[in-house]
Amino acid sequence: MFHIDTVADERTLSLGLEVRRRVFVEEQGVAPQLESDGLDASARHVVAWLGDQVIGTARLVIEDRVGRIGRMAVLREHRGQGVGSRLLSALLDVARREGLEGVYVHAQLTAVGFYGRFGFVPEGEEFLEAGIPHIKMVASFDSLEEATS
């Protein structure tokens, strides 16, 4: 069974970045320079461990009392097992502890239903990010409480 941890050291961060490289660069064809945006040093990161292997990762970037969830990545062979849900829940817990007013994500269109189950709602028009269709989805903690209760 996997477990979720916050990233507390460079080694664990590197393992999470490798998961992102495999998912975004190798699998989805995102250019490496687009995947690495310079925000990792200031972000809060979580990873999913299965034994001694990191199988998923996500981050929270705080911008003016609002959190941007992003870089959610789970290795292909571990999808559909609740890893992404647990990663997202962990980041939402971090955002609550930080006293943020709400959170948002630039969701790939294929993930709109996933985020919707957590109380996120689409805002605005679809756009391309790294050549992949996305839409901004937002949630206040009031809507998140309703979706998870």
Q: The pTM is what?
A: 0.91
* pLDDT, tens digit, 9 for 90 and up, residues 112-140: 999 999 999 999 999 999 889 999 999 98
> Tell me, what's the pLDDT at 96?
92
What is the rounded average pLDDT for all residues in the chain? 92
What is the DSSP annotation of 91-102?
HHHHHHHTT-SE
Report the pLDDT value the prediction gives residue 133, as an integer from 0 to 100: 95
Q: Which CATH number belongs to the domain containing residue 116 in this structure?
A: 3.40.630.30
- Domains of the chain: total: 1
Query: What's the pLDDT at 102?
Result: 92
Q: Is the pLDDT of residue 147 over 80?
A: no
Go through 29-60 and write b for each residue having 16 or more CB atoms within 10 A of its CB, e for each that does not.
Answer: ebeeeebbeeebeebbbbbbbeeeebbbbbbb
Whether the predicted pLDDT of 145 surpasses 80:
no
pLDDT in tens, 45-85: 999 999 999 999 999 999 999 999 999 999 999 999 999 99
Contact 143, 121 (CB under 8 A): yes
Residue 149 has pLDDT above 50, yes or no: no
- 85-110 residue pLDDT tens: 999 999 999 999 999 999 999 999 99
Give the domain extent around 87: 3-148
